[in-house]
Structure 1
Amino acid sequence: MDDKLQLQLDGLMEKYAELLVGSSDPKHIEMVKSYALYSFIAKSMPSLVKHWNEEYPDAKEAMKNVVHEIKELNEKHRNEQK
C-alpha cells in the first residue's frame, strides 16, 4: 500500500472514531479499528469468527468489552449532540 493511501485511510479512521465515539485520540482510534475489522469479518466470514472465539475465549471477552465500551461512548456522544 502506498503512503498516500495509508494517510487517507488513517484520516478516514480518525474521522470515523470522532463521529462514532466523539473522540479521535489514539486509544479510541485503535478501539474503533478493532471494532470495525472484527465486525466486518463477523459479517463476511462468521465461521472464521466463531472458530477464533472458540480458540481464544479471552480475546472474545476482550472484544465484547471493546464493543460495549464503544456503544457506551457512542450513546454518550449522541446525547451530548442533542
Structure 2
Amino acid sequence: MEKKIFAEQFEALLEKYSELLVGTTDEEIKEKVKAWAMYTHIAKSMPQLVNHWSALYPDARTEMKEIINEIKLLNEKHRESMKK
C-alpha cells in the first residue's frame, strides 16, 4: 500500500475515533486525542518510561495532565448529549 494512501486512511480512523470519543473532529482536539491515546498506551505498556519522561519534562507532564482532563470532560459531555 502506498504510504500516502495509508496516511489518509489512518487519519480517517483518527478522525472517526475523535468524533466518537468527544463528538468533534476539530483539528486541535483531534491532535489532543492523538496525544492522549499515545500517552495512555505508553503509560500502560511502559510505565517506567512515562515516569522517566515526567521527571525529565515536568512542564510537559503538566500539559499532558491538562489534555487528559480536557479529553475526559469532552467525553463526558459527549456521552451526556448522546443520552438526550
Q: Compute the TM-score of the two structures, normalised by the length of structure 2.
A: 0.94
Give 3-state SS (helix, strand or coil) of 1:11's partner.
helix
Match of 1:11 in 2: 12
Q: How many Å apart are 1:4 and its aligned residue?
A: 1.0
1:59-80 alpha-carbon deviations (Å, 9 max, x no partner): 0010000000000000000000
Identity of aligned residues (%): 51
* CA distance in 1 between partners of 2:46 and 2:11 (Å): 24
The answer for unaligned runs of 5 or more in structure 1 is none
* CA distance in 2 between partners of 1:28 and 1:69 (Å): 9
Is residue 81 of structure 1 aligned with residue 82 of structure 2?
yes
Would you identify which runs of 4 or more consecutive aligned residues in structure 1 move more than 6 Å? none
Match of 1:42 in 2: 43
Match of 2:61 in 1: 60
* CA distance in 1 between partners of 2:82 and 2:45 (Å): 32
Match of 1:70 in 2: 71
